[in-house]
Chains A and B, each alone.
Chain A
Amino acid sequence: MKCISGQGHVAVWVALSLLILFGIMRYDNFASAYNLSSFLGYNSMFVLISIGMCLVIMTGGIDLSVGAVAALASVVAAQMSPQGLIVAVPAGLTAGIAAGLLNAAMISGLRLPPFMATLATMLAAKGVALRLSDNRTVPVDWTSDFTALGMNKVANLLPWTIIIAVAVVILAWAILERTSLGRTILAIGGNAEAAHLMGLKTRRAEIFVYVFSGACAGLAGVFLASGYGAGQPLEGAGWELAAIAAVVVGGTLLTGGMGSIPATVAGALLFGLVFNLLNFENGRGTISLSAHWQSVIRGFFLLIVILLQARLVRPAAKT
């Protein structure tokens, strides 16, 4: 099954390795436990939504609603935080799943184009988040155990959020590589009509990917509220595009039908690493790059990886 990801993902592993190597050689504290856990803790949110996005894109769809849904879930979770983890986490997750179901209903039921359907959900989720929160950030209840999820560390090293994110990654990978659902997902992206005619349960798979993506966004929102102490209705703008970039950098074609979960994770980490390295570079004080350079450099990386992919994938695809 390894061949499904083609050669497109080679570029991202090379780029990620080079950046990590560069960081380790150049900065003393880069490989420290502290940097590792704060870097991975922050980026676990992006890894989650990128994984959801990856499955959606594999079916040839797209999910623009993830950022707004994460913001909505963070508001819901923060409002439920006095009841503790046991209520707040499922509440945030439910908000995400509800948004996913809405997407699935519009796309699989009404046959709307995914781009427009999820754009509508994005606006609606943002509206609901602003309404629930009364247009303000919602502080979490610090006396309950809700913040333990985002702030406590297992064995004083890894935050819970990272462990959960890794579990979701493994789950997504297992579904994709080991179940008929996963094969159906890839088959839809390859050729939806053919997959349907072959008797595959395409509709079920389509509903699944949008609900899964919604759940991932919901969980990311819960992490946001728990790790940073507030439900943030205005957060998440542009997350959907960051996730799409991570998926694409990971070698998944937007037309669907192929892709790799591990390479998507690498793609998400690659974009996070640009920011991390920039912080270290500024910390050294030799040069001073403003935070604005961050997005310029990210765009540049996206360009390089896309050009590399065009060289790697195109000739293979043509023969």
Chain B
Amino acid sequence: MIGRIDRRMQGLLLALAVLIVLNIVVTPNFLNMRSLSVNVSQVATIAIVALGMTLVIASGGIDLSVGSVMAVSGALAPIIFLSGWGQANPALGLAASIVLPLMVAALCGLFNGALIAFVGVQPIIATLILFISGRGIAQVLTSGNLQTFTNPSFTWLGTGRILGLPVQGWIAIALTLVLAWIVRRSVYGRYLLAVGGNERAAVLAGVPVARVKLATYMIAATLAGLAGLIVVAINSASDAARIGQLMELDAIAAAVVGGAALSGGRAPVVGTLLGAVFIQLMGYTLIANGISDEMTLIVTAAIIAVAVWLQSGRRR
């Protein structure tokens, strides 16, 4: 099992290395701090959402609602710190504008998880509900208006730097390490892989399947909520119609390129981070070398197809 994961990671690492060397040779200014920061800040939100998606996929599910959950949390944060109460108590307001949206996001995950674990709705359908209405809720909350603001302490989440690298990049790395540890070493991690590997067997073995699923969807939604906050912080503006648009697809693509199998039972958390970086770097390479945006889509499509094909070949 470990050997196999390592081989997959080797392939991905090799591909990444080739891309990086290629970029050093052909892309002007690739190795300066600026382009590194640009890439890191663009990939971090996708990576954070993709980490949660990896856990969901490992449980044998899928979460289409992540983009809408991002919109909800991203819409809530400015509402809270721009409110009269938030402006009267800046410190409390800042804390609330981070904690409350994350809690609401977690509730969205609870909703998804409850439909899946207790009502028995298929994950695609269950999460489709919030995919459709979540963004609508965010737009109703903001009356569809763009909220702009200046709040340096909040925007630090998206524009701050630690040791020269964007804060959100460090957050993504930290979350990856924590989740990798959780998957490998915690009881929850074992249960998660058991549920995704063979749900019936997990039930018979006494795994609390419903609780594991609830927790998984709540983690995924909370991470999506965090990504929503970061996107809003990057832009110093919140546009409910656009935050997290198509994020579910980016996240699924990153997870699958990183080695997750849609059939469940595998949670290659580190691979997901690398998968997200690979897709980002591929797109950056094409655009930085004057190849148009739409070619990037076609290349991404090919990468996904090849990644899934390699995976299905190895399984047999």
Contact = CB atoms under 8 A, between A and B. Distances in A.
B49 interface: no
B132 A299 contact: yes
B125 A306 contact: yes
A300 B133 CA distance: 7
Contact of A290 (B134, B143, B308): B143
Given A124-B297, A290-B143, A303-B129, A296 B136 contact: yes
Contacts, number: 134
A110 B125 CA distance: 26
Interface in A245-302: 245, 248, 254-255, 290-300, 302
In the complex, which range does the number of interface residues on chain B fall in?
35 or more
Contacts of A299: 129-134, 136
A310 interface: yes
Contacts of B135: 295
Contact of B144 (A113, A128, A290, A303): A290
B2 interface: no
B300 interface: yes
A298 B132 CA distance: 7
Interface string A113-134: 1011101111110111011000
Contact of B140 (A117, A248, A296): A296
Contacts of B62: 115
Interface in A96-149: 106, 110-113, 115-117, 119-124, 126-128, 130-131, 135
Given A112-B312, A116-B305, A314-B120, A293 B136 contact: yes
Nearest to B133: A299
A15 interface: no
B302 interface: yes
Interface in B244-281: 245-246, 249, 252-253, 256, 262-263
A78 interface: no
B253 A119 contact: yes
Interface in B279-311: 292-298, 300-302, 304-305, 308-309
B124 interface: yes
A169 interface: no
Given A113-B312, A123-B300, A293-B140, A106 B305 contact: yes
Interface of B: 62, 64, 115, 119-122, 124-126, 128-137, 139-140, 143-144, 245-246, 249, 252-253, 256, 262-263, 292-298, 300-302, 304-305, 308-309, 312
Given A131-B295, A299-B134, 11 more contacts: A116-B252, A123-B297, A123-B301, A241-B64, A245-B125, A254-B125, A295-B135, A298-B132, A299-B129, A306-B121, A306-B126
20 contacts: A106-B305, A111-B312, A122-B301, A123-B249, A124-B297, A131-B292, A131-B298, A241-B131, A241-B132, A254-B124, A254-B125, A255-B122, A290-B144, A295-B132, A297-B133, A303-B129, A306-B126, A307-B119, A310-B120, A314-B120
